[in-house]
Amino acid sequence: MRKLLTETNDQLVAAVMKMTMLLSTVMSVLLLLSAQCAFAQRAGQDVDSVAQLRTALEQGGFAVHAGVISTVDWAGMYCRGDREDAGYVNKAPYLMIQVPSSADPASTVENFKLRPDEAIVLIGPTPPPVKYYGFNAFLATRFYPDEPPGTQRRWLVATLGDAINNATIKTTGPSPFGTPVVIIFTPDRGTDARIRAVLQRQGYPPALVNTMVLPSSILNLGESDTADELTLKMRIGMAEEGKKEILEAYVRDAGTAVKVLRVTPTTVATARPFPVPPLRVRGTGQSEMELTNKVEQLRAGIIAANPGMRATDILSMPVGYEGYDYIQRRTAPGADSRDNVFLAAGYIPQFGSNQRVALATDEFLVVYGVNHVATGKASYASVNIYASEFAKLSIGQVFHDKFPNTAAPYMPSGDAAVSLLYAVKASRNCGGEPNCIPLRVDDCPVLELQDNTALGFFFRMYLEPATRVGAAMQEIVYDRAIKFSPRRD
């Protein structure tokens, strides 16, 4: 009996200890969530808190002017005749970070000049759950005095190092999505430190303050006519399943939820420039090359499945790989990203892809290759087909969530490689055919898709999870396409 009582007592003590630990854990989580909720109201969601921060910065020796984030639909603007082209964007609105102009702080601009001691500060919530988001700083334009008059200022839009993305951003929450953050874009360590001190005094936890260095040793900073122009951009990838409406609401409301401040010291101090930050290293050493012959087998299967048709191969090439490379060559990468590998194919002459491709109503395409998300080389991937010669408008797109099992009809039954491959048809006449991207122009009176409309392709693959940056191009098996035409002979 004594033994039984002892065992029972031990069990009760153990149960009480477990309950105590559980309650402690629950209380810790509740306190953390409470703190995050309170801060969410202060940082970026509460207008008064940002106004208080602005006052504190002004009292700390800064002039502060407000910018704005606006929703820009380049495709819609092109179709209304308000833009020369749609700029090779996806068929979705984009967020544009507009900064107060140094010449006239009352007006905001996309491309801006910056003194060596200034900063741009973003405050607000991150996007809801998506496959990818990233904040980038770009060298927008540069003045080259040795170029002929009239061509001395060149458009570049080349990245200045790594993005701050959903895998690297500093937050206080358990997730990088839908959580308050602060991002300071500045060339100067002194300015960064002073802003951080003000933020902390205002109740912004240091754990959620991020700094993106604008490397002064690369840039020609200042407000002169020959100074560089910079631009800041935010990319957002596809929403997680069931979160599309939440993402649409975030994009719609970003102009009020996310605050932009231009912060300028009122007294010029000795410059303390940041060094150029080290780059995250692309690549793991593990490549997709093991699948090379499987992709060739897939190609053969696709051609065999379409007898009586003439097959024309369309090969892709990497473009926009590293902004620093393009800056040194005075060449525009067109808003590259180190978080991505861009592949271009077909007719996109601005990026060196000059294979002219057009599609009649009785012709079709098959895009195919390795599913880079399935191999672990990307967090999300997409294929866009553009009317590329003049419009640069997407007329069809597909994301990696539609890739599974699409290669199965063209590969031997039971082939394990099927789960790592994809093959998707694209046509002007999909009808009700499954696994087919309809190529069409909707609500765009300035463009009519015709048999001779030049087509270009962009394959995008963002953020290798293992490295938190884009994959190394030498570790990727490039995506491809085949054009099928009826034989006339």
Shared domain check, 394 and 351: yes
CB neighbourhood size of 61 (10 A) = 13
Residues 6+ apart with CB under 8 A from 251: 71, 93, 95, 236
Q: Name the β-bridge partners of 142.
A: 154
Q: Identify whether 283 is part of a domain.
A: no
pLDDT confidence of residue 296: 98
pLDDT confidence of residue 208: 97
- Model confidence at 27: pLDDT above 80: no
Q: What's the pTM value of the predicted model, to 2 decimals? A: 0.89
Shared domain check, 311 and 256: no
**Single residue among 230, 249, 265 that ends a domain in this structure:** 265
CA distances (Å), 466 to each of 134, 335, 382, 453, in order?
Answer: 17, 24, 20, 40
Q: Is 247:131 a contact under the CB 8 Å cutoff?
A: no
Shared domain check, 341 and 254: no
pLDDT tens per residue across span 441-482: 999 999 999 999 999 999 999 999 999 999 999 999 999 999
Shared domain check, 314 and 253: no
Shared domain check, 253 and 376: no
- Mean pLDDT along residues 287-306: 98
Q: Identify whether 278 is part of a domain.
A: no
Q: Identify whether 9 is part of a domain.
A: no
Percent of the chain with pLDDT over 90: 83
- Model confidence at 25: pLDDT above 50: no
- Model confidence at 98: pLDDT above 50: yes
pLDDT tens per residue across span 236-283: 999 999 999 999 999 999 999 999 999 999 998 889 999 999 999 999
* Tally of domains within the chain: 2
- Model confidence at 431: pLDDT above 80: yes
pLDDT confidence of residue 286: 98
CB neighbourhood size of 45 (10 A) = 18
Q: How confident is the model at residue 109 (pLDDT cuts 50, 70, 90)?
A: very high
Q: How confident is the model at residue 91 (pLDDT cuts 50, 70, 90)?
A: low
Q: How confident is the model at residue 11 (pLDDT cuts 50, 70, 90)?
A: very low
Nearest to 166 by CA among 196, 122, 125: 125
Q: Identify whether 259 is part of a domain.
A: yes
Q: Identify whether 7 is part of a domain.
A: no
Q: For tokens 């919530």, name the residue.
A: 125
pLDDT confidence of residue 2: 39
pLDDT confidence of residue 388: 96
Q: How confident is the model at residue 47 (pLDDT cuts 50, 70, 90)?
A: low
Q: Identify whether 5 is part of a domain.
A: no
pLDDT tens per residue across span 389-426: 999 999 999 999 999 999 999 999 999 999 999 999 99
pLDDT tens per residue across span 134-191: 999 999 999 999 999 999 999 999 999 999 999 999 999 899 999 999 999 999 999 9
- Model confidence at 43: pLDDT above 80: no
- Model confidence at 42: pLDDT above 80: no
Mean pLDDT across the chain: 90
pLDDT confidence of residue 24: 37
Number of continuous H segments (helices) and E segments (strands) in the chain: 7, 22
- Domain extent at residue 304: 289-486
Chain centroid to Cα 105, Å, comes to: 28
Shared domain check, 181 and 105: yes
Structure tokens at 24: 């402690």
Helix, coil or strand: residue 439: coil
Q: Is 100:115 a contact under the CB 8 Å cutoff?
A: no
pLDDT tens per residue across span 192-201: 999 999 999 9
Query: How far is it, in rounded angstroms, from Cα 479 to Cα 222?
Result: 43
Shared domain check, 435 and 374: yes
pLDDT confidence of residue 126: 96
pLDDT tens per residue across span 350-373: 999 999 999 999 999 999 999 999
Shared domain check, 395 and 456: yes
